[in-house]
Chains A and B, each alone.
Chain A
Amino acid sequence: MSERVDASSAHRPDASLVAVSPVPPAPPVGAGPADEPARLTLAGPPAARRVIPQRRPGRWIATVVVLVVLAQVIHGLVTNPFYQWDRFDYWFSRPVILRGLLITLQVAAWSAVFGLVGGIVLALGRLSRNPILRSVSWVYIWLFRSVPLIVVLIFLYNFSALYQTLSVGVPFGPAFFSFDETALFSELAIAVIGISLNEAAYAAEVVRSGVLSVDQGQHEAASALGLPRFYQFRRIVLPQALRAIIPSYVNQLIGLIKATSLVFYVSLLDMFGTVQTMGASYPGDIIPLLLVGTVWYVILTSVVSVAQYYVERYYSRGALRAMPLTPLQWVHASVRDLRLRFTAAVAR
């Protein structure tokens, strides 16, 4: 009852406001003579009627600022005598550095392979329907993501103190073979095992996220066609998962290449270890030696990045309607285009 009264009284001021409003109603947008499209007829040839793109002065200012700063940095790098570029030249391809580089490459390559294989196994474990496999994989990943790599490495280095011999045989039963721990594992093996154990935990999550990104309909279609289970994984799910896996895994891989610098702590002279020992022997060359290490790491990760570009391209087959040009194809196309334009201009 009272509500109805309230409502009507609330309406009244509105109505009076409209009635006595001194402001005339605004004309509808677009009704003004200037906006009428019918009257907007432009004469002239098509070239004159081309729409002029927006001007962007801010972009030019930003470009100039960045270029000036960049020029300063490069000038400093070249002219500052403390970088000692001549000593950089001397060290860059010394055999001792290249031997270290070989160790770095070996550790990185083996760890990448074992880490990925272990990661796939762990990811399948986490995706499995078996609760034991699921929990064991989860605990492994949890443990190795929690422990710093350097701790794992030093732990393994001192492993022979924990278990003097390793034997192969019946679990909890008699052994068929035994090995002396210290004789079995070289520093290289310890480094590869340590980094692989760590890498597998991260790779597992990368692989798992990739597999989860594949549409459920793909699993159903593969299953409805009666494709054998391993075939479903290898030919249907994995190639599509790889599209999501590769960018994150390359991230991992670059981290791994840099993590190999820790193997110095298990007495393995990798490239960075060599740089450190050489730096101790030639204290005056520390800066050029560090530059040598930096440049070699940049080269290694660049190779991986270029490989990533082409591998990603391969696995995006079918995902895009038309493939973008590779940089090489782009250069070819641009040169062809320029040549055509040039001949056309000459002909004119």
Chain B
Amino acid sequence: MTFAQTTESARPTAPGQATAAPAVAPASAAAVEIHDAHKWFGAHHVLAGISLAVPAGEVAVILGPSGSGKSTLLRAINHLEKLDVGHVAINGELIGVRRHGDRLKELPERAILAQRARIGFVFQNFNLFPHLTVLDNVTAAPVATGRLSRAEAAEFARALLTRVGLADKINSYPRQLSGGQQQRVAIARALALRPGVILFDEPTSALDPELVGDVLAVIRDLASSGTTLVIVTHEIGFAREVADLVVFLDEGRIVEQGPPSEVLDNPRHPRTREFLSKVL
């Protein structure tokens, strides 16, 4: 069955048309659940009905050609991008919206920010705060959200920076570091919130080839520690190594998903085959 894993959901034709009686967050083992996600940028249907479940502690890698909606999907998980239709739940909790009768309503900003503080996000361009030292970058979120005192946050930050191999860079400013070091600081910054889920948006795409390895090593370490990871990447070899679930996206739809041994080594869909033959 070629299309066994393909998502075939009813696609509404107009934006803003909420699905009647959404099946909101059923109790399940999935840490990240996306249900029938639709997103339009103007007339462009970026996400055309995506449903996906990532079980707790597993690593999902999202692949696909550029413009296929990978980053939009990832950003929708922590509500950096608002879905027009559909919803996202993390550990059973709706993200960015609440249920109001049989409709979904967007939460106030304060509540969304509180939810985001439990989801790590690592950007392609690091987006470290250039005017703060490495230590202040990592301690900012736990201190500002009132989770840790300044001293506790500093102690935790030191431990995290040691873990990513940057214990000696605590007092440097981001621009004094190489790209690979900056991305590892960004990962430590995301970890400072003790997130249950971490989202990576092409974490190695802006790096020199020789710096990619250090960052991948840190992510590999996280993958084996039982944190749920969702990674958008072009590193097929890395995907094969760490992924429990590989998702192939094209034109806003999931074309194929499954363990790497199936999707990467034995792709069933011609579009997946074509993509893999180009990038490998």
Chain A residues engaging chain B, CB cutoff 8 angstroms: 215, 217-218, 220-229, 231, 235-236, 239-240, 315, 317-321
B window 212-263: CB within 8 A of A: none
Contact A229 B123 (CB under 8 A): no
- The A interface is mostly helix, strand or loop, or mixed, namely helix
Q: How far is the CA of A220 from the CA of B127 in the complex (A)?
A: 8
Instruction: Find A318's partner among B115, B117, B125, B130 (CB 8 Å cutoff).
Output: B130
Chain B residues engaging chain A, CB cutoff 8 angstroms: 78, 80, 109-110, 113-119, 121, 123, 125, 127-133, 140-141, 144-145, 173-176, 189-190, 193
The residue among B80, B110, B141 with the most chain A CB atoms within 10 A of its own CB is B141
Provided the pairs A220-B80, A226-B115 are in contact, do residues A240 and B131 lie with their beta carbons within 8 angstroms?
A: yes
Going nearest first, the 5 A-B pairs with the smallest beta carbon separation are A226-B117, A221-B127, A318-B173, A226-B116, A224-B121
What is the distance, in angstroms, from A155's C-beta to the closest C-beta of chain B? 41
Provided the pairs A218-B127, A239-B131, A317-B173 are in contact, do residues A225 and B140 lie with their beta carbons within 8 angstroms?
A: yes
Q: How far is the CA of A318 from the CA of B190 in the complex (A)?
A: 20
Contact B123 A226 (CB under 8 A): no
Known: A221-B129, A318-B174. 9 other contacts (CB 8 A): A218-B127, A220-B80, A221-B127, A224-B116, A224-B123, A318-B131, A319-B130, A319-B131, A320-B175
Q: How far is the CA of A236 from the CA of B140 in the complex (A)?
A: 10
Provided the pairs A221-B123, A235-B140 are in contact, do residues A228 and B131 lie with their beta carbons within 8 angstroms?
A: no
Contacts of A235 in B (CB 8 A): 140, 144
Contacts of B189 in A (CB 8 A): 225
Provided the pairs A235-B140, A318-B175 are in contact, do residues A217 and B127 lie with their beta carbons within 8 angstroms?
A: yes
Q: How far is the CA of A240 from the CA of B145 in the complex (A)?
A: 21
Q: How far is the CA of A318 from the CA of B117 in the complex (A)?
A: 25
Instruction: Find A227's partner among B119, B123, B133, B144 (CB 8 Å cutoff).
Output: B144
Q: How far is the CA of A221 from the CA of B133 in the complex (A)?
A: 16
Q: How far is the CA of A47 from the CA of B80 in the complex (A)?
A: 62
Contact A223 B175 (CB under 8 A): no
Contacts of A218 in B (CB 8 A): 127, 129
Jot down 30 A-B pairs with beta carbons below 8 A, ordered by A. A215-B127, A217-B123, A217-B125, A218-B129, A220-B80, A221-B123, A224-B80, A224-B116, A224-B119, A224-B123, A225-B141, A225-B189, A226-B113, A226-B116, A227-B140, A227-B141, A227-B144, A227-B145, A235-B140, A235-B144, A239-B131, A240-B129, A240-B131, A315-B131, A317-B131, A317-B173, A318-B132, A318-B173, A319-B175, A320-B175
Contacts of A225 in B (CB 8 A): 116-117, 121, 140-141, 189-190, 193
Contact B113 A228 (CB under 8 A): yes
Instruction: Find B175's partner among A231, A315, A321 (CB 8 Å cutoff).
Output: A321
Contacts of B144 in A (CB 8 A): 227-228, 231, 235
Contacts of A319 in B (CB 8 A): 130-131, 175
Contacts of B129 in A (CB 8 A): 218, 221-222, 236, 240
Q: How far is the CA of A293 from the CA of B116 in the complex (A)?
A: 58
What is the distance, in angstroms, from B149's C-beta to the closest C-beta of chain A? 16
Residue of A nearest to B146 (CB): A228
Provided the pairs A217-B123, A218-B129 are in contact, do residues A223 and B116 lie with their beta carbons within 8 angstroms?
A: yes
Residue of B nearest to A225 (CB): B141
What is the distance, in angstroms, from B31's C-beta to the closest C-beta of chain A? 18
Provided the pairs A235-B140, A318-B131 are in contact, do residues A226 and B175 lie with their beta carbons within 8 angstroms?
A: no
The residue among A226, A229, A239, A317 with the most chain B CB atoms within 10 A of its own CB is A226
Contact B130 A240 (CB under 8 A): yes
What is the distance, in angstroms, from A5's C-beta to the closest C-beta of chain B? 44
Instruction: Find B193's partner among A215, A226, A231, A320 (CB 8 Å cutoff).
Output: A226
Contact B176 A321 (CB under 8 A): yes
Contacts of A317 in B (CB 8 A): 131, 173
Provided the pairs A218-B127, A235-B140, A318-B131 are in contact, do residues A228 and B145 lie with their beta carbons within 8 angstroms?
A: yes
Contacts of B115 in A (CB 8 A): 226
Q: How far is the CA of A244 from the CA of B267 in the complex (A)?
A: 52
Contacts of B130 in A (CB 8 A): 240, 318-319
Q: How far is the CA of A217 from the CA of B126 in the complex (A)?
A: 9
Q: How far is the CA of A224 from the CA of B80 in the complex (A)?
A: 7
